[in-house]
Structures are given as structure tokens and as C-alpha cells.
Structure 1
């Protein structure tokens, strides 16, 4: 995390400066369609076997009187997605095999490749959110100088970082075992993630 962002985050959490209230946060949230993208295992990046990447474009208003990163931190936290961080997105393809991840763009824009080399490049702009099921490859292809992302994770799961083919055999076993999040990181219990990521009693995709 850049030193300036680390300092801002500390001051905001201590004083509440530039952080939205609960009522303000509700007013800053927009109703947006969930865009879904399902990627195949390419032999290096496994992706998730049946849960899609979910992208909400322009889901949050980011007025100047609030720190945009604080808006996403508080939004994710109230829906049970914790351990937030502020930074960019790595410029090499990687994924997490034991945990899901949410990324909220607080500032700037970037071209992000999801799903590995055979996946899809998306333009992610301030106000956008991407919800990545475990196994989803992602890397930054290009970013504006001020590009800033807030990331967070569900309470269930263990953070790890996988990169190459040497991780693949283990990852394809752990990815399906990562528990479904309790809430959508943006819309909570009423959000579309509950039916987009469906599971049966056996832990497999519900038909």
C-alpha cells in the first residue's frame, strides 16, 4: 500500500474523517446489473469450475467529500468481507485457491485481464466492483497513474497466492471446497451473488 494511502486509512479509522455514515453509504449505492463471466481451466489458471466472475459497473457514487477507498472499505465490511487493503492489481497473472476476493475501484481506471491468457480483458473504472470466485486469474495490463483498488475477503477462507503451473494440481482440489460467501459484498443478503453462486448439499453446482 502506498505510504499516503496507509496514512489516510489510519487517520480515517481513528477520527472518521472522510468516511461515510451508514445512511450516507446507503445513498451512495446504485442498483446495477450483475455481469457474469465464466472461464475455463487452461491448464495453468484453473479458474472456478462453475461459479462466474461477477462485475458491477458504476455501483458506487464517489463524491469528493468522501475518501473513495473508505466507501468501498465500509461497504464491503458491512457485508462481511473483511481484511481490506488499498493498492493496485499485480501486473502478472495470479489467483487465490483457498479464498474468494472482491475488488472495488476507488480511483482511476485500468485494463484488467480476468481468467488467464485465454480469459477476457475488461476496463475497470472508479465505482466498479469485481467479485472473483476462488481460482479466478487476474492481472493488470495497463493502469492510469492514480489507479487505486480496495480488496477484501469473506470471513471463511485462507489467503494464498498462486501463479504458475506448479500450483495447478493442488489448486483444482482446493478451489471447489472454498465455502460460498454468506453475503454479496455489495448488496448483502439480497444481492444476486446468492443465486449466481449456487451450491447443492454436496457442495456442487445446483442445476
Structure 2
């Protein structure tokens, strides 16, 4: 991201009230991590879309689940629940899922057995495309998650290997029109999500 782009993006974020993200953008820090996952050991993952991990977007309100819910609601992703993350491998074939971490910290395993370990803490957000395996490896006391989904998408719960029909379902899940964190101006989105140029990639 060029210096001009970085300043413009920081101004955009500041205008939306995301001051912590704005300051990090101005300093040139990559705060969206793009994680690509291959199918493995019964977990399909998504053949086209990567996981997006937003670091510290709600740091100021990290322990306020209502702040996460308001963010998702404002960007058209209705929040559906407050809970944790299951301690077993699972995925959703019928919906994309965004998780806002609103308390404590945890280590997640994304992609199924042999996947990638990811440490998350209050203030972080992760966007899981349909088919993405995820589970909780460990968590601190007070670990709390807010879950949301795009309109007109309802998650199932899958623990078994995907059938050919399920793989077709995963590929057919509609790409959301709005970034759940950055809204309509989510220019850091990967080109395979909204057709916009990514700001950077971390594997």
C-alpha cells in the first residue's frame, strides 16, 4: 500500500470510528491476514475464498460484545449468537461466518487436522468462508465470541467428510456484498472475495 493510499485508508477508517485500525494503517501495519487453506483429512475448506483475520479492530471495545454486534449489524451481517468455539473439528457448508472475539484469548485450529493454528484475542475478528474447518484448541477464562452471518444465509453444522453434493453447496454459497468489518469500503478485501485489490497477503 502506497503512502497516499495508506493515509486515505486511515482517514476512511477514522471516519467510521475505527481509530485503532486507522492508526495502524497510517503506520503501514498489515492488520488483515489472508490465510489460504487446502482441503485435508475430511475437511473441505473453501476452494476459492481465503480466511480473513482482522487484528485488533475493536481493541478499544475489545471486551464489549455489544460493540462487535453493532459493527456486524452496521455492515449488514446480523449477529446471531454469543458463545465460544466448539472443541471439535467442524465446518458450515451453507453459510460464511464471521466471529468477533469479545473476551479473553484462544488458540484455534483452522482447516482441520494438520491445518493452521491461530492465536486470537479480544478485539480480533475472523471471517470464515463456507467449508472452512475450525475448532478451539484452548482458551482463557472469559473467552467470548459473537457470531454473525450474511443475510439469507443460515449455517448448518458438519463434522463428517463432505459429499460431492456438499462440495457443490459450498461453492454455491453467495459471496457477501459488504465486508463485515470495513463495510462497503472494505478495500483490503482479497480480490477473490469482492474483486478488489488486496492490500497484502500473509500466509
CA distance in 2, matches of 1:63, 1:94: 29
Distance 1:87 1:24, change over 3 A: farther
Q: Does 1:127 align with 2:123?
A: yes
Measured after TM superposition, the shift of residue 171 of structure 1 is 2.0
> Out of 56, 59, 62, which is 2:57 matched to?
59
Distance 1:24 1:143, change over 3 A: farther
> Out of 97, 103, 106, which is 1:107 matched to?
103
1:110-161 Cα shifts (integer Å, max 9, x gaps): 0000111121001000100000000000000000111001110000323211
- 1:152-167 aligned at under 5 Å gives the runs 152-165=148-161, 167=162
Q: 2:79 touches 2:146 (CA, 8 Å); kept in 1?
A: no
How many pairs align? 174
Q: 1:110 touches 1:125 (CA, 8 Å); kept in 2?
A: yes
Name the structure 2 match of 1:44. Answer: 42
Name the structure 2 match of 1:80. Answer: 76
TM-score w.r.t. structure 1 length?
Answer: 0.77
CA distance in 2, matches of 1:126, 1:190: 24
Name the structure 2 match of 1:186. Answer: 181
Name the structure 1 match of 2:17. Answer: 26
CA distance in 1, matches of 2:150, 2:133: 18
190-199 vs 86-95, greater mean Cα deviation: 190-199
- Which runs of 5 or more residues in structure 1 are unaligned? 1-22, 200-207
Distance 1:175 1:72, change over 3 A: same
Measured after TM superposition, the shift of residue 63 of structure 1 is 4.4
Measured after TM superposition, the shift of residue 30 of structure 1 is 2.0
> Out of 127, 133, 136, which is 2:132 matched to?
136
CA distance in 2, matches of 1:42, 1:63: 36
Distance 1:63 1:180, change over 3 A: closer
Q: 2:61 touches 2:67 (CA, 8 Å); kept in 1?
A: no
